[in-house]
Amino acid sequence: MHDGHSEQTLEMSATAADEPRRRFAGSGFGLDRFSGVYLWVLFIVVFGIWTPSEFLTSSTLHSVASTQAVTGIVALAVLIPLAGGLYDLSVGATANLTGMLAITLLNHGWAVAPAIFASVLVGIAVGLVNSVVVVSLRVNSFIATLGMSSILAAVLVIITGDASPVPPTSTAWNNLTQTTVAGFQIVVLYLIAIAVVLWWMLAHTPAGRYLYAIGGNAEAARLSGVRVKRFSTLALVLSSTVAGLGGVLFTSQSGPSLDFGPALLLPAFAAAFLGSTQLLPGKFNVWGTLLAIYVLATGVQGLELVSGAAWLSDMFNGVALIVAVALSVNRGSGRVRRSRPIRGSGVPVSGPSSPEQDAPGQPPPVTSARVTSTT
Amino acid sequence: MPQEHQHHPALEVVGLSKSFTRTRALADVSLSVAPGEVHALLGQNGSGKSTLIKVISGYHQPDPGGRVRVGARDLPFGAPVQSYRLGCRIVQQDLGLVGNLSVLDNMALSSGFPTILKTISPKRSVAQARRDLERLGLEIDPRAPVSSLTASQRTGVAVARALREDWSYPPRLLILDEPTAALPVTEVDTLLQMVTHMAATGVGVLYVTHHLGEVFRVANSLSVLRDGRLVGSGRVAGFDHDTIVHLLVGEELEAEEPATRVDRLAGVAHRSERPILQVEDLTGGALAGVSLEVSPGEIVGIAGLTGSGRDELLGRLFGSVPRAGGSVLVGGHALPQHRPDLAIAKGVAYLAPDRKTSGGVMNMTARENLTMPNLRPFWKGLRLRRKLERSRAAEWFERLGVRPAGSFDEPLSIFSGGNQQKILFGKWLSQQPAVFLLDEPTQGVDVGAKADLHHELRAAAMAGAAVVLSSSDLEELAELCDRVLVLLDGRIAAELSGGELTEASITRRFMPAAALPA
């Protein structure tokens, strides 16, 4: 979409510095930042023509909206640390643990509210442990949270005895997510509420500004007085909290399952990365992420209606993740300048590598060589 | 080893010039290095040394007319591989070693490992690496990680790698670019011995350095560059310390007494007496105990060669780089370590030396960079007020003349070096710092922007800021500062002010008295 053309414009004016650049990327209705919207429209038109009786129905709309709501929440969870140049790969396992914990507690006779509260609290605790490992012990966030997700999977087996518990009978529990509002399950509203709060935080508060600064160049942020450790901690705790909430909502909506968490991880990352190429290109952003979630879901839904193949959604998400990262990396690498990863800044090794303008979408160690080369 | 070439110079440069678009970096330079000879190449920053090296190593295409011969063969320009094949070997100042790999792996990085059936043969690799090291008189275990070596051993490894056996293209000329710059004083001897040892094998050595003491100890002959011209050359025996300094800095500069300084001396009278910044016995890294005091309105310069501690002083003072000991007081209150935010709150601003790695967040907008140290004024009604931020950014763009004008919502990366630096200046000036620490504030900045930045710096001092300016640009120091502290081996070796404060006198204080020829 944005090929060598825009790249070149950028590079030239970067040196000449005589004319504001980014006519392409920054303003107007360039294919670039709104490509997701166009793709979405394309999906709707194509499948609408192909199989109008099945695709163009309000039930399709409602089902796509609600089945993707929890995925959306988990995507927003990974978005927060990504903005700060950190990975949280433990969100899936966290969600799985808190969701199943809530059910286990309910089955032990807890009331709905305390069960949810305790479960989300566990999510917060996971975030605190993550941040101790990443921020204080300076373990690369990719590694730390990968390890954590394995630990959480083990804890899950301990709690459940590796047997799926019976679904709770409480109607309050089911209504938590399945009450319908204008045809949509209420969980969609939760997603929107969380999105609004995070959008406010990331785009309109100093905390958000600082997080992006850390993601862009942690050392420069630190020297500007940004409390890098504090905000890295905040990001990791928030992501686990949101993921924990997402897990509870998932089991309320879909019932107990021992392995839904890991399955949420990839679509969440795919959406966050794809989202970083949308609306505000080069920046992990809330609305871009939600757009990506629903564009992908619409495509998958349409293809499934047409072909009925069961492998479509995995294939789609995998391709989307790679394409998204390729897009964001290549935007950044058009220019040669790339600064070194920053050391000793509290944010680990891989974290804040390339403060190139469009590049934060290509966060740290996706080019994984860096993980090892800089330690 | 290069018997058949013994009679030809290892390097012969004849009438070499090199122009960049606007400047002439080299003008009609000629020099010659015999096999087995150590030839010192001297010159201030910007005198053309690096350009010369880049031409010889094949990275730059010189202006037509010049000629470079290596071992009696003409060097085709613009192709580094040709330069290598003729026998040029270069050891850069940063050595280019990978710390966590072994000596052996580092040495094999460029040449490849000896293999049997495409499989690395560990025995032969180790033996060959050991041979290469021993030829330089180095006893280093090839299996040791480079990070475990001393600084001079590392330089040795880099040199051994450059000079390793290559039967197809035997090395004839070794270029050492400031090999002692990062060495502790105690290890310089080891390195100098190695250089002598190396030359004895028949290789010609071009030895680039700032340290005159070393010249007298290892070099047979020397060349001095100033403003791209060869201003002196010959056998070392024909020179003494003073003549070389004289050649380095030039006649006119020594005599100069800028009028601005006289003005400033007059201004000293009505300056507040009480120092706002007090540094007592600061240690850590290369710093071996630095004490200084700076009063409001004063501009104090820090000079010193690489390794003197100059490049670390401000970071440690600010607290962003850990200190080993000593105290830093601002307005009588201690400045804690590891807390740039507290230092900033106390009115200290620190302009970091490298814009890209530690100065600015390149992918954020100029506006966001400008307001980063303090967002409080824009945080109203639970939102960051972008409109307020924009008007603040617009003011600073206007005041500092940032180009392209009004594009403060563009990412910092699109601006030119000079304009980026202006924006970062604005970021700190807008905090109205009481103490302004600047590390290499005009490095890589064009002349116009530099003048603007100097103007702002003076204005800040006039407004009452205590300014500390660490710079490798001596002209800048001599022009701007009320006094300059010269660092040597981590201590303040001299304090220059008034009429004493000239580029030449700073250069003279770079060298330890002991290194002067006896």
Q: What structural domains and CATH numbers belong to chain B?
A: 3-249 (3.40.50.300), 251-346+466-511 (3.40.50.300), 348-432 (no CATH)
Q: Is position A135 within any domain?
A: yes
**Local structure of B428: helix, strand or coil:** helix
Q: What single string gives the DSSP state of each residue in B229-257?
A: EEEEEEEGGG--HHHHHHHHH-HHHHH--
In this complex, is the C-beta atom of B413 within 8 Å of any C-beta atom belonging to chain A?
yes
Cis check: omega of the bond before B404, within 30 degrees of 0: yes
Q: Is residue A204, in this structure, part of any structural domain at all?
A: yes
CB distance from A336 to chain B under 8 Å?
Answer: no
Q: Is B280 exposed, middle or buried (0-12, 13-18, 19+ CB in 10 A)?
A: middle
Question: What's the order of all strands across the beta sheet hosting B325-330?
Answer: B287-294, B277-284, B325-330, B333-334
Scanning B325-473, the segments in alpha helix (DSSP H) are 340-345, 366-371, 386-400, 417-429, 447-462
Q: Which residues of A touch B349 (CB under 8 A)?
A: none
* Residue of B21 and B282 predicted with greater confidence: B282
Name the DSSP class of B412. Answer: G
Over the range B433-468, which residues count as b (16 or more CB within 10 Å of their CB) and which as e?
bbbbbbbbbbbebeeebbebbbebbeebbeeebbbb
- Cβ distance of B413 and A227 shorter than 8 Å: no
> Cβ separation of B410 and A22 shorter than 8 Å?
yes
What pLDDT score was predicted for residue B29?
A: 92
Confidence of residue B510 (pLDDT cuts 50, 70, 90): confident
Q: Check CB contact under 8 Å for B416 and A15.
A: yes
| A19 within some domain | no
How many alpha carbons fall within 13 Å on the CB side of residue B52? 35
> For residue B515, how many other CB atoms are within 10 A of its CB?
17
- pLDDT tens sequence across A112-124: 999 999 999 999 9
What does the pLDDT average to over B209-227? 87
B359 to chain A, any CB pair closer than 8 A? The answer is yes
> Quick check: pTM over 0.90?
no
Contact across the interface for B384 and A209, Cβ inside 8 Å: yes
Distance of CA A225 to the CA centre of its chain: 28
Torsion of CA B482, B488, B492, B493, to 10 degrees: -80
In angstroms, the CA B481 to CA B298 distance is 8
Residue of A nearest to B356 (CA): A339
**B212 membership: H or E segment, kind and range:** helix B212-218
Which of A 346-365 lie inside 8 A of B, CB atoms? 354-360
Of B33, B8, B479, nearest in space to B261 by CA? B479
Q: Is A264 helix (H, G, I), strand (E, B) or coil?
A: helix
Closest residue of chain A to B340, computed from CA coordinates: A225
- Residue A18 located in a structural domain: no
pLDDT in tens, B320-337: 999 999 999 999 999 999
Find the closest chain A residue to B414 by CA distance. A14
CA angle centred on A47, ends A44 and A53, rounded to 5°: 105
Q: Which amino acid is at B246?
A: H
Q: Encode B303-355 in three state secondary structure.
A: ECCCCCCHHHHHHHHHCCCCCCEEEEEECCEECCCCCHHHHHHCCEEEECCCH
**What residues form DSSP beta bridges with B436?**
B349, B467
B375 touches chain A (CB under 8 A): yes
Nearest to B373 among A224, A356, A375 (CB): A224
Q: How far apart are CA B44 and CA B39, in angstroms?
A: 17
Per-residue pLDDT of chain A (375 residues; tens, 9 = 90+): 344 343 333 333 333 333 333 433 444 455 567 888 888 998 899 999 998 888 888 888 999 999 999 999 999 999 999 999 999 999 999 999 999 999 999 999 999 999 999 999 999 999 999 999 999 999 999 999 999 999 999 999 999 998 989 999 889 999 999 999 988 999 999 999 999 999 999 999 999 999 999 999 999 999 999 999 999 999 999 999 999 999 999 999 999 999 999 999 999 999 999 898 888 888 899 999 999 999 989 988 888 888 878 888 888 888 888 887 787 776 643 333 333 333 333 333 333 333 333 333 334 433 333 333 333
Q: What is the 3-state secondary structure (H, E, C) of B48-75?
A: CHHHHHHHHCCCCCCCCCCEEEECCEEC
Within a domain: residue A223? yes
Report A:5-34 residues touching B (Cβ under 8 A).
Answer: 10, 13-22
- Alpha-carbon gap: A128 to the closest alpha carbon of chain B (Å): 22
Residue A16 is assigned to a structural domain of this protein: no
Contacts of A347 in chain B (CB under 8 A): none
Contact B35, B5 (CB under 8 A): yes
What is the pLDDT, as a whole number, of residue B254? 46
Residue A174 lies in domain: 27-333+340-373
Residue B205 confidence (pLDDT): 93
Specify the CATH number for the domain of residue A284: 1.10.3470
C-alpha to C-alpha distance for B501 and B469, rounded to whole angstroms: 15
* Single-letter residue type at B168: S
Specify the amino acid at residue B166: D
In a domain? residue A11: no
Can you list the alpha helix ranges (DSSP code H) found in chain A?
Answer: 4-16, 23-26, 31-50, 52-55, 58-67, 69-83, 91-107, 112-131, 141-160, 171-178, 186-204, 206-216, 218-223, 228-254, 260-275, 286-307, 312-333, 369-373
Whether A40 contacts A290, CB under 8 Å = no
∠ Cα B342 B435 B327 (to 5°): 65
Q: How far is A25 from chain B (nearest CA, A)?
A: 11
* SS3 label, residue B14: strand
Answer whether B341 sits within 8 Å of A227, measured CB to CB: yes
**Percentage of chain B modeled with pLDDT above 90:** 36
Please give, rounded to a whole number of angstroms, the shortest distance from the CA of B440 to a CA of chain A. Answer: 15
CA distance A205 to chain B (A): 6
Q: Which residue in B356, B383, B410 is closest to A21 by CB distance?
A: B410
Percent of chain B predicted with pLDDT > 70: 89
Whether residue A276 contacts residue A283, with contact meaning beta carbons closer than 8 Å, is answered with: yes
**Mean pLDDT over residues B108-126, rounded?**
73
Chain A residue with Cα closest to B428: A224
Number of domains in chain A: 1
Quick check: A135 contacting B, CB < 8 Å? no
Tokens of B508: 């003279």
